[in-house]
Structure formats: structure tokens, C-alpha cells
């Protein structure tokens, strides 16, 4: 028993030492996509639209189809097994096979959306949930802020975003950097905001997990706003 307890103590001490070492690491947080990279996620969105609650769930597949010399990249996005639950009633949404495309700048902000979400609501929602890459590597405890300019062409509203690196954590077999963020629109009659946390794979800084609470967020294609709780979890 003493040897067992001693072994447990050694393991716990090793975990503390490794965690402390990781905390001192600096990470660029700049995504390094490669053409052909494919990620699948489980998506869950709880919505509150004017006091009416609903849940949307689906499996999301993303594929990198282009990487530019300037660091920009294009992702194809498709959804399957979608369901909507409203007033306790679950309804399957037929798969349409639709594939949309999103082009991202090197700093992580969306530049172009091609597909059914290519309206003002889609651009605003993507910006609220976007991860803006810092100008320099960051370690646990570091913070940075970004001013996002308005774009009359896409409908993006001017906003401020603040980030903080919280920890280095292991999710499954992936070592990740955990970062919290807050984005607030600073213009418009009904500004939206987002508070959330992302976990980024340290090998290429692709998304592993996202949890966010959005307030007064635009709903793409519906022309109205909703409060949302969004969860996205890597499944491959």
C-alpha cells in the first residue's frame, strides 16, 4: 500500500511539473492549415428567440481546399444529421448536401462567405465567433486586444475583441491551448456580444473545442437576433 501511495504521489508530482513546463511555453496561435486537412465536429446550439427556446444539433465537416501565399485559407463546410428540437419535439432536418465556403485572412477573420449564410447575419456571426491571431507568441496568462473595423460590404459591425491564454490542456490525444475571449460590437442599434473559450491544437492551432455564449446574436437567413449557447467538439 505504501508503495502504491508513493507511486501515486510521483505521478501527481510529474503532472504538476509537466503542467508548469507547458505553462511557460509560448505559442504563435497562428493556424497552419494544409490543403486536404479534414475536421469533423459535433455541433449543439441552444437558442432563445424572443423567449422561445430551441436546440439545433448537427455533425459539421470542414475541409481545407486552398491555402494562399499570404496566409489566407479557404474551408469547405457541410452539415449532416441535423435536428431541431422545439417544445420537446425533435424533428430531423433533411440533408441537402449543400457545401458552403469560407475564406479567412491570415489573422483568422472571415473575408468571404459563399453559400446560404452569405448574408449580413452570417458575416456578423462568424466575426463574433472568430479567433483573431495575435501579433506575437503568447504563453499562459498573456492577453491581447483587437479592434475589428466595420465592413459596409459584408455588414460586419465594428467591434472590440479581448483574449487571454488560460492554460495548456490535453483533450483526448491532443495537447491544446485554452483561450477565452470576449467580442463586443460597438456600433448599431442592437449590438451583439460573445463570451467564450476555445481549445486549439498545438500542432497546427486548428479548433478542437469551442464553448460560447452569444447575446443578441444575428441568426443567418432569418433577419432576427437570438441569445445562443454554442458548443463545438472535434470528433476525429
Higher per-residue confidence, 65 vs 223: 65
Contact 97, 201 (CB under 8 A): no
Separation of alpha carbons 163 and 199, rounded Å: 13
| Residue 4: predicted pLDDT | 34
Residue 116: band (very low, low, confident or very high) from pLDDT cuts 50, 70, 90: confident
Beta strands in the chain (DSSP E): 38-49, 52-67, 73-86, 89-92, 100-104, 110-114, 143-148, 159-171, 174-185, 193-201, 207-219, 224-234
pLDDT of residue 24: 65
DSSP string, 144-186: EEEEEPPBTTTTBPPEEEEEEEEEEEEETTEEEEEEEEEEEE-
Residue 14's pLDDT band (cuts 50, 70, 90): very low
Mean pLDDT of 77-103: 90
Which domains are present in the chain?
Answer: 27-234 (2.30.230)
Look over the chain and give the mean of its residue pLDDT values, rounded to a whole number: 89
Digit-coded pLDDT (tens) for 158-197: 999 999 999 999 999 999 999 999 999 999 888 999 999 9
Beta bridge partners of 61: 40, 78
pLDDT > 70? residue 77: yes
Looking at the chain, the whole-number percentage of residues with pLDDT higher than 90 is 74
108 pLDDT more than 80: yes
Residue 15: pLDDT band with limits 50, 70, 90: very low
The mean pLDDT of 112-136, rounded to a whole number, is 92
Nearest residue to 142 via CA among 25, 7, 14: 25
Mean pLDDT of 97-110: 93
What confidence tens digit (pLDDT) does each residue in 23-52 have? 468 999 999 999 999 999 999 999 987 778
Please, how many CA atoms are within 13 Å of residue 92, restricted to the half-sphere of its CB?
A: 5
Amino acid at each position: 500500500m505504501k508503495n502504491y501511495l508513493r507511486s501515486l504521489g510521483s505521478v501527481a508530482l510529474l503532472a504538476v511539473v509537466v503542467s508548469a513546463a507547458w505553462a511557460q511555453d509560448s505559442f504563435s496561435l497562428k493556424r497552419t492549415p494544409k490543403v486536404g486537412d479534414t475536421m469533423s465536429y459535433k455541433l449543439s446550439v441552444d437558442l432563445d428567440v424572443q423567449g422561445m427556446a430551441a436546440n439545433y444539433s448537427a455533425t459539421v465537416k470542414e475541409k481545407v481546399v486552398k491555402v494562399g501565399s499570404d496566409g489566407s485559407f479557404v474551408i469547405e463546410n457541410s452539415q449532416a444529421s441535423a435536428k431541431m428540437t422545439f417544445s420537446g419535439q425533435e424533428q430531423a432536418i433533411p440533408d441537402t448536401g449543400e457545401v458552403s465556403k469560407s475564406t479567412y485572412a491570415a489573422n483568422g477573420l472571415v473575408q468571404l462567405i459563399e453559400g446560404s449564410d452569405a448574408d449580413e447575419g452570417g458575416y456578423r456571426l462568424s466575426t463574433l465567433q472568430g479567433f483573431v491571431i495575435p501579433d506575437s507568441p503568447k504563453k499562459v496568462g498573456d492577453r491581447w486586444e483587437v479592434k475589428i473595423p466595420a465592413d459596409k460590404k459584408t455588414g460586419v459591425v465594428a467591434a472590440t475583441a479581448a483574449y487571454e491564454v488560460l492554460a495548456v490542456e490535453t483533450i483526448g490525444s491532443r495537447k491544446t491551448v485554452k483561450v477565452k475571449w470576449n467580442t463586443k460590437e460597438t456600433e448599431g442599434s442592437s449590438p451583439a456580444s460573445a463570451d467564450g473559450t476555445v481549445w486549439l491544437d498545438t500542432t497546427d492551432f486548428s479548433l478542437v473545442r469551442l464553448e460560447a455564449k452569444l447575446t443578441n446574436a444575428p441568426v443567418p437567413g432569418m433577419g432576427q437576433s437570438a441569445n445562443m449557447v454554442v458548443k463545438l467538439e472535434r470528433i476525429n
